[in-house]
Chain A
């Protein structure tokens, strides 16, 4: 089963459909937003330095960027229902891995209070 028909006649004059033109515009918009987000994280770091606030803001920006790439560039807005069955367990495992590793951090803080 293939989503792509074979041998579309490659004529340069073939017009793009409205849907295709819409996609093209969306790709450009997302690209510009990604560039702006990168600049914003860099500015946060320059202005706020390495603080908890800058870390939180930069993390939020990173998640927004990743979400845009995944949803638009990787077509997950259209494919989500098909891929959800394999993505959801993995996302649960990702979160659980970090939670489980953080137990080690809590134990370190408990044993060496100076590191808190």
Chain B
């Protein structure tokens, strides 16, 4: 019995791609859904919530600089380009050149994360974090939380001593910094300070078990709290002192949370659509509790502390700020984690090259990693306009 020769043609199953490439595309497809959920939700929230009186925060409100986002976009596009070139050269056999481009991609990715970290620090410094932004100043929240919070921040900048004792405290602090304070002669100056400001927390008499040097150091620390840690420029400091004195005095007309917010932010940002109306002043405005349209045309515009010094660490009301912060950190945080994941793989490639185990046979590996990296780039291409520009 002869065995019939089987002439089976090769049956190709599934999608005609290398396994690695198919796996990477399947993974990318799930990532598309992941980011669609995040970006889609953001678009709906952005369009659905704001009112004309409470608009969505502008990039300026939340300390976002568009040019930094544009620079980051360029960095990622360049890194995508370098990955493509790395694959191009590796496929042809120029391993060293490919490794250089992979190293450049890694460096650019690290630069992107560095810039992101700088942006995050700006948010942390201004307490622009989900749940930490004051939005509703009209109700109890404004009086109970916002005003004491601002007062604490001002005391950190300006100091806890009152206006009467400020000059004496500043002189004593200067003497302390110059090493001129002596434990035996300090008592009279401290007593004078205590007379001017009875609430000043300062130790008048040296405790029995403390050395002279330790006592001077203790008084120095107390003086430092009394005169404040600064942190604002010379233009903003008088406005900060004025606001703190007004908050302490708080006589009629009582300072409402909205009034305090206007002293911090300024009337100008709110009046940007009406340039040229009213002259500028840092004095408190008596019209501050009136709605914009009810104020006379020549009502002075309060120049806010943040306009004098944009780096001042003072909280202010940002409508929809908490929602914005949640969306911002969710979207950019997940994107940054994806960037980090890609950088780990590039680092692995460089280690392989250092060990001499990287060659043209790894062109598929580089291509698949490149597919992931391009996807990360595409997500940023959509994230950047959504968050920074639109």
Binary contact readout B348-390 vs A (1 if CB under 8 angstroms, 0 otherwise): 0000000000011101100100110011011001101100111
**For A4, what are the chain B residues with a Cβ–Cβ distance below 8 Å?**
91, 360-361, 363-364
**For B80, what are the chain A residues with a Cβ–Cβ distance below 8 Å?**
69, 73
CA distance A45 to B384 in the complex (A): 12
Inter-chain contact count A-B, CB under 8 Å? 155
Q: Report which of B36, B52, B73, B389 forms a contact with A97, defined as CB distance below 8 A.
A: B36
In the complex, are the beta carbons of A94 and B88 less than 8 A apart? no
> Which chain B residue shows the least CB distance to A74?
B374
Residue numbers of A with Cβ under 8 A of B are 1-4, 6-12, 14, 16, 20, 23-24, 27, 30-31, 34-35, 38-39, 41-42, 44-46, 50, 54-55, 58-59, 61-62, 65-66, 69-70, 73-75, 79, 82-83, 85-87, 90, 93-94, 97-98, 101-102, 104-105, 108-109, 114-115
Is the contact region of chain A dominated by helix, strand, or loop, or is it mixed?
Answer: helix
**For B367, what are the chain A residues with a Cβ–Cβ distance below 8 Å?**
75
Residue numbers of B with Cβ under 8 A of A are 15-18, 21, 25-26, 29, 32-33, 36-37, 40-41, 43-44, 47-52, 58, 66-67, 70, 73-74, 77-78, 80-81, 83-85, 88, 91-95, 359-361, 363-364, 367, 370-371, 374-375, 377-378, 381-382, 384-385, 388-390
**For A82, what are the chain B residues with a Cβ–Cβ distance below 8 Å?**
15-17
CA distance A85 to B33 in the complex (A): 16
Q: Can you list 18 residue pairs at the A/B interface with Cβ under 8 Å?
A: A1-B18, A4-B363, A8-B360, A20-B88, A38-B70, A42-B389, A50-B389, A69-B80, A70-B378, A73-B80, A79-B17, A86-B25, A87-B29, A94-B32, A98-B36, A98-B44, A114-B51, A115-B50
**For B47, what are the chain A residues with a Cβ–Cβ distance below 8 Å?**
105
CA distance A73 to B369 in the complex (A): 12
In the complex, are the beta carbons of B94 and A101 less than 8 A apart? no
Q: How far is the CB of A11 from chain B (nearest CB, A)?
A: 7
CA distance A97 to B385 in the complex (A): 20
